[in-house]
Structure 1
Amino acid sequence: MKKIILVFFATVLLISCVGNDKMILRDSIGKINKVMVVAKISDWTGDVGQEIRNTFGELQVGLPQPEPILSVSQVAPNGFSSMMKSSRNILMVLEGEQEGISVKKNVYAQPQTIVYLQAKNDEAIINIFNKNKEKIKRIFLDSDIAFTQSIFAKNKLDDSKYKTLQNLGISLTIPNKFNTVDDTGDFLWLRNHLTSGIAKSGSNNILVYSLPLEDGLQVADSIVVNRNKIGKKYIPGYKEGMYMITEEAYTPFTFDAVVDGKKAYETRGKWEVKGDFMAGPFVNYTVFDEEKNRLIVVEGFTYAPSVSKRAFLFELEAIAKSLKIK
């Protein structure tokens, strides 16, 4: 009788595991913006590894201190243990006759993104990687954006209580650690006071407002001018005559982007307070809403003296990219 019961439960368990992959997938681990590379030691210490490190190690523009876009670590295939397989972002470098890249989700853990890079020799691996390196970077970054947004969604603010968001007809996934600084109906400013380590005197900030869409060809050229106008009107310093502006000694970088399926510009640079020594990085998303002949602007800026800022700005990027225009 006992044997029959044991067989019954074993069969139920087996059927459950096969029928629902989520039951057998552990939670993934790993820091945001970090990729584990599974490659032979000879590849990692040779030209293949050099190309990967150079690509992922490119410096993020707009930050006051040099910080890479992605951090990397390496493990040999024979050291790719059960714990290693739980990593959230993995790049597998393989040798084989079938050449190219492929992407799989949630293979050993969830959420998880694995990019497979395969070619017949080192030269071919480097060639394929270089042709696809921007795509590969974007795959990992977008995966971390989605992961960060899922974390924020678990404890998010009720955005229906903000006059500006309601008047603009938009929504954002904003974690509930943010507090209101200003909400005029036309302009929203939210702030999260940082509480950890030596960054505890700093803050993360979100700005939301709209602008008329007058000449689409001039939008990219007017982003700095418009954000300086907003800073002067809404973001004062501690003394009269002080307000936030775009740092005059540093030219921001503007890239094409897509937010909520709409054309947008992503601008990264540094802000400062006119007449003061406060400064830091910002990321600005100017989104075309052609249906209503306007631009929706969502910007994040951080103030965190003496510490690395990549992670703070990435959180703000994830919030901005959660924008939905109703």
Structure 2
Amino acid sequence: MNKLIVLFALIFISISCKTEGGKSNYVLPTSTGNTNKILVVMKGNDWEGKIGDEIRTVFGEHQVGLPQPETLLSVSQIDPVGYKGFVRNSKAVLIIREGEQEKIAVEKNKYASPQILVYATAKGKDGLVNLIRNRGKEIIQLFKDEDIKFAQNIFKKEKIDETKFKTIKNLGISLTIPKRFNLVEDNGEFLWLRQHLKSGIARGDGTNNILVYSYPLEDESKVADNITTMRDVIGEKYIPGSKEGMYMITEQAYTPFTYDAEIDGKKTYETRGKWEVKNDFMAGPFINYSIIDKENNRVLVFEGFTYAPSVNKRDFVFELEAIAKSLKIN
């Protein structure tokens, strides 16, 4: 009788561990790989040929606003026969394959978690070249969106209590900011937080900085044109250099790029460029989000800027982007 009870218990456990789709409901391994990096699964001959050239061209485009040339995403390749075992646990994978119908398909958390697999399918090699050329930006955005979520989930685990900042409370917003950011200034209208870059997803010497403030919305059609002017006003007022007469300004030799974006469902202008300190040699990249908040008749600004001499800065700016995109208006 005892043996029968044990047998029935084992059968019950086995059945209960099945999902409705018939797959085992087990815990997936943790994915491997860093943000802004993808693994491309395709044949070596194709990687060295026209398809690989097109992938390197599209994915190798330089990120706007960085002092040193850095690609949008870092790409590595593996042959399909080698895509097995622990290699399949890679966090971001682009799988190139031939088929009768051109399509892009997405599968998440198949072999590990978090994980995104993007399948790019087209007819023949020329079809694959055209697919990457015409829809490469779409593929890149799929990977970047997942990277943003990945970073934000990490930040949530080490989230600072932003309600202790007067400016955050007065502006009526919330942000997912890691605890490693320290307060520089908080006067109720302007918030400045700073992280020393010796910890976090991206590491190095220097600092990552967050600025949060708002100003009245007077003419929505002029907001985009006034972004650099407004940040220069803020820089002179709040971001001093090492000596009198020195303060942060938009680098005059480099024109920032502004794009349409959206944060918390609101029209937003994303601006990427370079900052410098007037009459000094300090400089670096910045990313600015100017949010049109019509309900409160204001422009809400989140800006991040990085100072990290002599090292690549793409991943530092990416962290600031992930924090900015967590912003919610309460």
Q: TM-score range by the shorter chain?
A: over 0.9
- Per-residue CA distance 1:236-281 (angstroms, 9 max, x = gap): 1111111100111111111111111111111111111111111111
Does 2:154 correspond to 1:151? yes
- 1:45 alignment counterpart: 48
Correspondence for 2:282: 278
Match of 1:91 among 94, 110, 118: 94
Question: Are residue 249 (structure 1) and residue 253 (structure 2) matched?
Answer: yes
Runs of 4+ aligned structure 1 residues displaced above 3 Å come to: 1-11, 17-22
Q: Residues 46 and 207 from structure 1, CA distance in 2 versus in 1: closer, same or farther, beyond 3 angstroms?
A: same
Where does 1:92-241 land on structure 2 (aligned, <5 Å)? 92-195=95-198, 201-241=205-245
Deviation, structure 1 residue 96: 1.4
1:9 matched residue in structure 2: 10
**Aligned residue identity for 2:6:** I
Mark the runs of 5 or more structure 1 residues left unpaired by the alignment. Answer: none
Q: Look up the match of 1:74.
A: 77
Q: How far 1:5 sits from its partner (Å)?
A: 3.4
Any idea what SS the aligned residue of 1:221 has? helix
Equivalent-residue separation in structure 2 for 1:206 and 1:21 (angstroms): 44
Give 1:213 deviation, angstroms. 1.2
**Shift, 1:104, TM fit:** 1.4
Q: What percent identity do the matched residue pairs reach? A: 57
Aligned CA distance change for structure 1 residues 83 and 250 (closer, same or farther; 3 Å):
same
Compute the RMSD of aligned alpha carbons: 1.8
CA–CA distance in 2 between the matches of 1:10 and 1:250?
Answer: 68
3-state SS of 1:257 partner: strand
Cα distance in 1 for partners of 2:144, 2:208 equals 20
SS at match of 1:192: strand
Cα distance in 2 for residues equivalent to 1:42 and 1:286 = 46
One-letter code aligned to 1:18: T
The CA distance in 2 between the partners of 1:235 and 1:22, in whole Å, is 53
Deviates more, 1:279-288 or 1:4-13: 4-13
Q: Is the 8 A contact 2:204 2:311 kept in 1?
A: no
Give, in whole Å, the separation in 2 of the partners of 1:159 and 1:315.
17
Residue 25 in 1 paired to residue 25 in 2?
no
Q: Distance in 1 between matches of 2:312 and 2:204?
A: 13
Deviates more, 1:3-12 or 1:182-191: 3-12
Equivalent pairs counted in the alignment come to 324
Distance 1:200 1:84, change over 3 A: closer
> TM-score if structure 1 supplies the norm length?
0.95
CA distance in 1, matches of 2:158, 2:4: 47
1:2 positional shift: 6.0
Aligned-partner residue type, residue 273 of structure 1: V
Query: Do the aligned partners of residues 146 and 231 (structure 1) sit closer, same or farther apart at CA in structure 2, a change above 3 Å counting?
Result: same
| Distance of aligned partners of 1:7 and 1:65 in 2 relative to their CA distance in 1, 3 Å threshold | farther
Q: Take 2:24 and 2:116, find their aligned partners in 1: how far apart are those partners?
A: 16
Is contact 1:194–1:204 with CA below 8 Å preserved after alignment?
yes
Q: Is the 8 A contact 2:208 2:305 kept in 1?
A: yes
What is the distance in 2 between the residues matched to 1:203 and 1:75? 35
